[in-house]
Chains A and B, each alone.
Chain A
């Protein structure tokens, strides 16, 4: 006998607290709700986008406890009490995050649908590089440094169907330079 909920039975509802962009939200959720759907449908934070909904495109990328992840491939109830940063929390129209400003300056998009995910991913990606996390493109595993090849490899989880990659590359390179990343 298992306890799967038949359609006629009320589905389990769970309490979860999400700390999003510095604000606390107490929610009651069906366990099926992904973090992406919780952000978009329950908190009306529609900056994070649903592209493929299977972790292939990266449009849903958010930063949890400092790490970038695909918010479509995780359940909201698994993130009780954790600190989540979305594109809305990185900067504001009045005060853009340097990565947001660089994407504007270098025209790092066409339609813009992948852009929030690209920017969240790029910000966390540079932090990974700064903390010495290697990548497939690192010639020296013990000491990865900034290069175009590194960025291309590390950003491969973010697709841009408009093909704005070269401008995205330029935007990220400018921010990396501003942060003094060794090349």
Chain B
């Protein structure tokens, strides 16, 4: 690791202030992705601001009947929370489909959202990557791309965001709460939180300089049948080839968010009213740009969605 200085922040204001005064700084919470990347010198912060002691580790009812999840709630605790297990089952299921027991014990809600969107070439510092060094090129395009993105890709990047949690949050229409310099606060719908790669794949989220996630708000429960189905190369502890977070709501409406397809959780609301899984998949995959290696994700998406419909039948 490159040398850095370390401080433990005692309040949100102190953390934001520290980020403003240290331009090369990063917040650290669970650290499971950041330290991994620092060891490879892919991330080289000059200053770390430990935010583990900001008191953002509670799950509380929100004013409008939903739940407010503190930024520092660990993945294990979020998945096991009684209210999440009963009212937002797709979120519990998605969290439990990700990473390992040890990682879920450390990884936080905000950190899960902020883990780097990545591919094997992002990790290989001998090869070009526009995400690591802007303008250096993309080794994945024309390289080994079996597990990489087919939706919303650009000529600069075809990496996928690996979070399972974020796919469920997208289906639930969660909102990310952010604090910034000067006491500023804003709310970012999850749909707008992550960005597509475009010409700047190194910029992955809507967060500005010095901004910090303070929590994630889930709207009032909508009931219905919740399913998270993840297809991957091995049964456990692997990123999704394709995943689907599905809610078949009590009022007959349906929501489908997809993982493994894009630089961000992929959801096409306009497709959700279509009658069959085939037609939904066709609409969701409109404009897909595949390679020889990852073209299989198109039929896999359709088949996974069909399996989700089958599961919903069983639950009914």
Contacts and interface: CB of A to CB of B under 8 A. Distances in A.
Interface of A: 2-5, 7, 11-12, 14, 30-32, 34, 53-55, 58, 61, 67-70, 73-75, 77-78, 121, 125, 128, 132-136, 138, 141-142, 152-157
Interface in B67-81: 76, 79-80
A34 to B, nearest CB: 7
Contact of A134 (B24, B47, B96): B96
Contacts of B93: 136, 141
Contacts of B103: 55, 70, 73, 157
B106 A73 contact: yes
A125 B101 contact: yes
Interface of B: 1-6, 22-25, 28, 30-32, 35-36, 39, 46-48, 50, 52, 76, 79-80, 85-86, 89, 92-93, 96-97, 99-103, 105-106, 235-237
A8 to B, nearest CB: 11
16 contacts: A2-B25, A4-B46, A12-B5, A32-B4, A55-B36, A55-B103, A58-B100, A61-B102, A69-B102, A69-B106, A73-B32, A74-B106, A78-B31, A136-B96, A138-B96, A153-B236
* Interface of chain B: mostly helix, strand, loop or mixed: mixed
Given A121-B102, A141-B92, 13 more contacts: A2-B24, A4-B5, A5-B3, A5-B4, A32-B4, A55-B102, A58-B102, A69-B102, A70-B103, A73-B36, A74-B35, A132-B80, A157-B100
* Interface of chain A: mostly helix, strand, loop or mixed: loop
Contacts of B32: 55, 70, 73
A53 B102 contact: no
